[in-house]
Amino acid sequence: MHITSKYPYYFLAPALIVFLIFSIFPTLTGFYYSFTDWNIYAHDIRFTGLENYKQMLEDKRVITAFKNTIIFAVAVTILQNVFGLILALMLNEALYARNLLRTIFFMPYVIAPIIIGHIFSALYHPDNGMINEILRAVGLGSFAMDWLNNPNIALFSIIATDVWRVTGFAMIIYLAGLQFIPKDLLESANIDGANYWERFKNIIFPLLAPSFTINILLSLISSMKVFEIVIVLTEGGPGYRTEVFNTYIMRMFSSGELGYSTAVNLVLFVLITGIGIPVLHFLRKREVEM
């Protein structure tokens, strides 16, 4: 092989080194430490086998974190994509100031989740928060409540906040997909007498399959890794009712249980991978079938 033919591979070397140092090595190291009693109080690190994983199965907070993470991920994924698709369909029409509206709806996504959390902490305030003030002003004061400290609705308040934050991203992906749908195809269907629902069901929805794949997969993965917005709004409370995997991992890591928290983090990684790959396979298969 001539030196010129090898030239492109020289550019791969730095990327490969970075990948090994910052991805493969930490993953393998974390895998090893998840089977140890590594903590800030021990002088030596001992191999303990599956002890950390047995402890997880006996810890009710892990079960709560698992349940909340799944509920959060499923709810955010569904709502983000439903609202994102509706907005995309609306703003794909020839509306006045549609570019401005696209910017407005996308803007929450570029704001840091921590800032969003602080904004909604003020909005959800039980005494002088804007949400309760509006409810009282329109005569619906009976619906005013402590949105973040009520154990029955705290998780759903966080879900609503995150849906508001990320819907604009889904909208942009769907808008990009809509641009690739041939307009003459829609015009032909319209001439043939197809109404909007028939055009959407038979033309728009099937041709948006790649956009659905991107949005659903990214939304599912990111929502299963939720952390900042939960820690700012509720810190996992009240009474761990909004605890998710990453807030639980933070608590265990902060308490010095480094080996155990690494094991929980590995479980989260396996959970995301175990859900993400089948979902990706299903969605890609759907693209081919359509």
Summarize the confidence of residues 211-225 as an average pLDDT. 95
Output the pLDDT for position 129. Answer: 93
CA diameter of the chain: 80
User: Structural domain of residue 258, as residue ranges?
Assistant: 51-289
Is residue 16 one of the residues assigned to a domain? no
Amino acid at 133: E
Is residue 143 one of the residues assigned to a domain? yes
- Per-residue pLDDT at 2 exceeds 70: no
Is residue 34 one of the residues assigned to a domain? no
Is residue 11 one of the residues assigned to a domain? no
How do residues 62-99 score in pLDDT, each as one tens digit? 999 999 999 999 999 999 999 999 999 999 987 888 89
Is residue 40 one of the residues assigned to a domain? no
Where residue 6 falls among pLDDT bands split at 50, 70, 90? low
Is residue 7 one of the residues assigned to a domain? no
Number of domains in the chain: 1
CB 70 within 8 A of CB 275: no
Output the pLDDT for position 13. Answer: 79
Output the pLDDT for position 42. Answer: 78
Is residue 79 one of the residues assigned to a domain? yes
**What is the number of other CB atoms lying within 10 angstroms of the CB of residue 135?**
16
CATH number of the domain at 76, please.
1.10.3720.10
Output the pLDDT for position 160. Answer: 97
Summarize the confidence of residues 260-274 as an average pLDDT. 94
Output the pLDDT for position 4. Answer: 56
- Per-residue pLDDT at 40 exceeds 90: no
Is residue 44 one of the residues assigned to a domain? no
How do residues 115-135 score in pLDDT, each as one tens digit? 999 999 999 999 889 999 999
DSSP character string of 103-114: HHHHHHHHS-HH
3-class secondary structure, 225: coil
Output the pLDDT for position 1. Answer: 47
The whole model's pTM is what?
0.91
Output the pLDDT for position 271. Answer: 94
